[in-house]
Amino acid sequence: MPPVGGQAVLEGVMMQNGDRIAVAVRREDDKKIIVRDLPVKKILPRLSKVPVFRGVFRFVSMLVLGIRALNLSASLAFPEDEQLSKGGTAITMVVAIVIAVGGFVVLPLFVVNSFGSLRAGNPVVFNLVEGLLRMTLFLGYVVVISRMKEIKRVFQYHGAEHKTVHAYEAGLDLTVDNAREYTTLHPRCGTAFLMIVLVIAILVFSLAGNPTLWLKLLSRLLLLPVVAGVSYEVLQFSGRHSDRRLVRALSAPGMWLQRLTTAEPTDDMLEVAIASLKHVTEPVAAREAATVDVEAGAVQSSADPNPACAA
């Protein structure tokens, strides 16, 4: 059984099974579940299979795919609202990257470098303090946004995604009753990946030593792809060997962090996640013909190769 994964979006869930990707949302006006395919193009497919390199490709592709999925979910759930153009989507992605790098890479470096004792001291200590500050800022950011009502609903859909994937991986029928019994935490979650990134960054950035501030900054930016690539390999290894006690212990911080980024979903949220996962795991002929009645309305499935608002 190939691994599946997904992402919470606005009022729904994106699921991926290899090259098959779908976004399912519950429409605001009539409460029906709408499912749409989200086509994706492979870039340098051979290089994207090379260890470490594939982590960088995966990180970039998931960032782009995530923005596209959010745009598509917004157009499906809130069709009356104005949607971002392709240019607007590109600008949003660039701004998000700049804010993330500035807030979690540049800012901690400048703060720690302002202390003379650390600046002139042991490079391992410098990078450890910088890494701890980076983690503190990230955790604080997650705690703050988790208190927002709109984000809490996204986190509930995040929990629905994990529960549904657990049921699928256990070989059970994809039903609300089966999915409900599982935890909202999953070892292959992107949140766990971010925690791994924070830890790996401390180790990788230490390789640059303790040069001048601008050389430190340059080394951080140049080593970011290495951090992403190594972190991806660690995440994949932990996902494949989550039954081992040592791996579970090392993965524990990422699982703990998911208690902030996931929440217990409602049954209607599980229905949306199930509709999305069924769409990418069932035979194409079956999924195109399926019309599944649910309590809140019918699931409308479409294999439209050019969904609205897809970048």
Specify the pLDDT at position 85. Answer: 64
The Cβ of residue 173 has, within 10 Å, a number of other Cβ atoms equal to 10
> Given the DSSP bridges, would you call strands 12-17 and 5-9 parallel, antiparallel or unpaired?
antiparallel
Output the average pLDDT for the chain: 82
Q: Say if 285 falls within a structural domain.
A: yes
Residue 307 belongs to some domain of the structure: no
What's residue 208's pLDDT? 84
Query: What's the pLDDT tens digit per position in 167-190?
Result: 999 999 999 999 999 999 988 887
Q: What are phi and psi of 148, to 5 degrees?
A: -80, 135
- Split into its structural domains, the chain has a count of 1
Task: Give the residue among 24, 9, 55 at the shortest CA–CA distance from 227.
Answer: 55
Angle, CA of 79, 82 and 87, to the nearest 5° = 120
- Is the entire prediction scored with pTM above 0.85? no
Task: Confirm whether 113 is domain-assigned.
Answer: yes
User: Apex CA 96: angle with CA 91 and CA 101, to 5°?
Assistant: 130
- Which residue segment(s) compose the domain that 290 sits in? 5-302
Q: What string of pLDDT tens digits covers the 311 residues of the chain?
A: 567 889 999 999 999 998 899 999 998 878 899 999 988 766 666 766 777 777 777 777 777 888 888 888 988 888 776 666 666 667 877 888 888 888 888 999 999 999 988 888 788 899 899 999 999 999 999 899 888 888 999 999 999 999 999 999 999 999 999 999 999 998 888 787 888 888 889 888 888 888 889 999 999 999 988 898 888 888 778 777 777 887 777 778 888 889 999 999 999 999 999 999 999 998 764 555 444 444 344 444 444 333 333 33
- CA dihedral sign of residues 93, 95, 97, 99: negative
Is residue 310 in a domain?
no
pLDDT digit string, tens, across residues 81-113: 666 666 666 787 788 888 888 888 899 999 999
Q: Is residue 311 part of a domain?
A: no
Give me the phi and psi of 22, to 5 degrees please: -140, 150
Whether residue 308 is contained in a domain is answered as: no
Say what the pLDDT of residue 108 is: 93
